[in-house]
Chains A and B, each alone.
Chain A
Amino acid sequence: MIPVADIVFYLLAAVLVIAALRVVTTRNPVHSALFLVLTFFTAAGLFVLLRAEFLAAILVMVYMGAVAVLFLFVVMMLDVDFAELRRGALSHLPVGLAVGGVILVELIIVALAQHSAGPVTEPAVAVPNTLAIGRVLYTTYLLPFEIASLVLLVAMIGAIVLTLRKRPDVRKQVISHQLARTRDQAVELKKVASGEGA
């Protein structure tokens, strides 16, 4: 029997790691954003392998369908010269590598330590995970759920406060006014003698 799940896992994991690396190494910011999208996609694939299909679908819908699109939107329009920005960044490379290395070593130690602790819990397949998440989200974690909604509300208020401007010098279109306009207000008939209309 071919261990299909293992093969798929390593394939996805490899693509994920390479894509993640490309996000930071590629020169073109748009390519960078596109690799980020690929990273999300493969991460969603890994969720599916873990039988967390709800999370996978949400990851794709929210992060790829909305967040990354807006991200790409901005990156495409800004035309940032990342090569210019990066020139200075190279001098920070040793520090970055050192910090990254420390975190990597720590993670490996953690992974080893956790591994010896015992096998990962088997997923409870009896209940579809959408149902399972829904059940705890609206009972045990009701309070955090409500607070999260407030966080989103604040984000919305903030975005509007910082960007919406009432500009007195710009005429605003009011569709109801436009629709309520009669022919008399819009059209004026003028009698022009032929040859003098200019």
Chain B
Amino acid sequence: MPVPMPDINLIALLPEILILLVAMGVLLLTAWSRETTQPLLGLVAMAGVALAGGILLIQTGMTTTTFGGLFVLDPFASAMKLLMLVATLLPLLMSWDYLARHRLDIGEYFVLTLFALLGGMLMASSGDFITLYLGLELMSLSIYVLAAFNRDDPKSNEAGLKYFVLGSMASGLLLYGISLIYGGAGGTGFAAVAQAMGEGGGHAPGIGLRLGVVLVLAGMAFKIAAAPFHMWAPDVYQGAPTSVTAFMAAMPKIAGFAAIYRVLLEPFGPMQSQWGPILQFLAVASLAVGALAAIAQTNIKRMLAYSSIGHVGYALIGLASGTELGFRSVLIYLAIYIFMNLGTFALILVVNNAGVGDEINDYRGLAKKRPLLAFLMAIFMFAMAGIPPLAGFIGKFYVFMAAVKAGMIGLAVTGVLFSAVGAYYYLRVVQRMYFEEAETAFRMEVGLLSRLVIAVSTLAVLYWGLLPGGLIDWAEASIRPLL
């Protein structure tokens, strides 16, 4: 009884295939070329990402499944992939000088970045736990290596190893959960699992399935660095090369949220009463850790690690509300988060080129020497703190609104409180820049590509802060078909 071949529609996978081919091409070029062609490799990688973005834009609105339901293309997947491409392209652009300066611009850097992106894209499009897991593993493995990419720096090695060990453990939890779900539901396809979970008609399904849900969510919470699964984030963010940190703070988070969306809405859809409280707990814990622990930080990368934990907490509030508004608000939040975060990292990379360290104290007096850079940094800090005319406020506003509308007043109030606490440490950076004397001259070139990234991020943060309509419509169009 030969098994029939599943339907294969490679058109649906076109962006993924393109990324794969570019990654392989860069790999072969790396192997064949001498040192001289490195800029070419980076350009090829970026062109590939941009081209994949073009294909995605064409694909927007397409809905199809292929490989027998293992791969799903829908507006949500396209939207998430688009965000991921942006979150890959911008770090590549802005780390151009940094990589050259630290001699990290070898071909494998781009290859691994592309493979991480590919893994993330597969996660967003998965229609089965197996595809989801493998996509996750592809992404994580690439990023573990990237974190340790600066081999001569012990901190980078430590970051890679820590991330790898803890990440493997999280993968173990996830797999364990998936196998329990497989045992309870008799399949790994999202549709099959959703059916098995819905069988009780709203009643609690078997304990195996429930335990599976908990473990799967725990595994995913690790990947997006939600407390209490965040322990790795500060060390890894600090130790990894800054260009990798920028990438790591953006792309995997989108991918992780994409996967959580998929899992919550499709296979776990019937079990909202189960996962709702879990997400609420994760959200509150992340907010607390993000806000309180960040205060004590002196290293800006470490501070941003805690800040990203906090941002994950806000996004989780939206998911925990479980309403359409909530899901939409998370998408909005993520889109804004990427630009705020990448803008900040672009500035950090620029300042780093001046030979300054990553301590917050190293930014003292930046406003005196380079007023424009300091002003832009201040904009991003205000945006992250959620101060009104900037986009960060819009993100938080929608998330809190979703929570309130879902009747979770307490959750929203907690969010607002921690937001106020969080504002303190963002403003501390501004205070250092503006109200203290400079010790260094901050002599550095701001590369063209970095300028581009900073300009794009600033525009996004300003524009969406004032006119968020387009963003909101886009989020709605992406989420609606999923519900």
Which chain A residues have a beta carbon within 8 Å of chain B's beta carbons? 106, 109-110, 113-114, 117, 127, 135-136, 139-144, 147-148, 150-151, 153-155, 157-158, 160-162, 165
Contact = CB atoms under 8 A, between A and B. Distances in A.
Nearest to A127: B1
A135 B3 CA distance: 6
Given A110-B208, A158-B144, A161-B108, A139 B131 contact: no
Given A136-B3, A154-B138, A158-B112, A147 B122 contact: yes
Given A110-B208, A154-B112, A158-B112, A140 B68 contact: yes
B70 A143 contact: yes
A113 B206 contact: yes
Contacts of A140: 3, 6, 68
Given A144-B134, A154-B115, A157-B27, 6 more contacts: A141-B130, A150-B115, A150-B118, A157-B111, A161-B106, A161-B145
12 contacts: A106-B207, A109-B207, A139-B3, A150-B20, A151-B138, A154-B138, A154-B142, A155-B141, A157-B108, A161-B108, A161-B112, A161-B149
Interface of B: 1-6, 8, 20, 27, 67-68, 70-71, 106, 108, 111-112, 115, 118, 122, 128, 130-131, 134-135, 137-138, 141-142, 144-145, 148-149, 151, 160, 180, 183-184, 206-208, 211
A160 B206 CA distance: 45
Given A136-B3, A157-B27, A162-B145, A143 B71 contact: yes
A139 B151 contact: no
A139 B6 contact: yes
A151 to B, nearest CB: 5
Contacts of A142: 5-6, 8, 67
Nearest to A136: B3
A110 B142 contact: no
Nearest to B137: A151
Contacts of B149: 161-162
A94 B6 CA distance: 50
B122 A110 contact: no
B11 to A, nearest CB: 15
A158 B4 CA distance: 36
Nearest to A145: B134
A144 B67 CA distance: 10
Given A139-B5, A150-B138, A157 B130 contact: no
Contacts of B70: 141, 143-144
Contacts of A165: 151
Nearest to A135: B3
B118 to A, nearest CB: 7
Given A113-B208, A114-B183, A114-B208, A151 B141 contact: yes
* Chief secondary structure at chain B's binding surface: helix
A38 B382 CA distance: 59
Q: Find the residue from B4, B138, B149, B184 having the highest chain A CB count within 10 A.
A: B138
A130 to B, nearest CB: 14
B131 A143 contact: yes
A27 to B, nearest CB: 23
Q: Find the residue from B4, B118, B207 having the highest chain A CB count within 10 A.
A: B207
A110 B142 CA distance: 35
Contacts of A157: 27, 108, 111-112, 115, 145
Contact of B134 (A114, A139, A147, A161): A147
Contacts of B71: 143
A110 B134 contact: no
Contacts of B207: 106, 109-110, 113
B67 A143 contact: yes
Nearest to A160: B108
A139 B5 CA distance: 5
Contacts of B148: 162
A127 B3 CA distance: 12
B192 to A, nearest CB: 13
A127 B115 CA distance: 37
Contacts of B27: 157
Contacts of B206: 110, 113-114, 117
A103 B122 CA distance: 31
Contacts of B145: 154, 157-158, 161-162
B131 A147 contact: yes
B141 A158 contact: yes
Contacts of B108: 157, 160-161
A165 B5 CA distance: 45
Contacts of B122: 147
B6 to A, nearest CB: 6
A147 to B, nearest CB: 4
B69 to A, nearest CB: 10
Contacts of B128: 144
Q: Find the residue from A141, A144, A160 having the highest chain B CB count within 10 A.
A: A144
Q: Find the residue from A127, A136, A141 having the highest chain B CB count within 10 A.
A: A141
A144 B5 CA distance: 14
A127 B137 CA distance: 32
Nearest to A166: B35
A144 B68 contact: no
Q: Find the residue from A109, A136, A162 having the highest chain B CB count within 10 A.
A: A162
A124 B8 CA distance: 28
Contacts of A161: 106, 108, 112, 145, 149
A147 B118 CA distance: 10
Contact of B211 (A110, A117, A141): A110
Q: Find the residue from B3, B122, B160 having the highest chain A CB count within 10 A.
A: B3
B131 A158 contact: no
Nearest to B208: A110
A105 to B, nearest CB: 10
A160 B67 CA distance: 33
Q: Find the residue from A113, A160, A161, A162 having the highest chain B CB count within 10 A.
A: A161
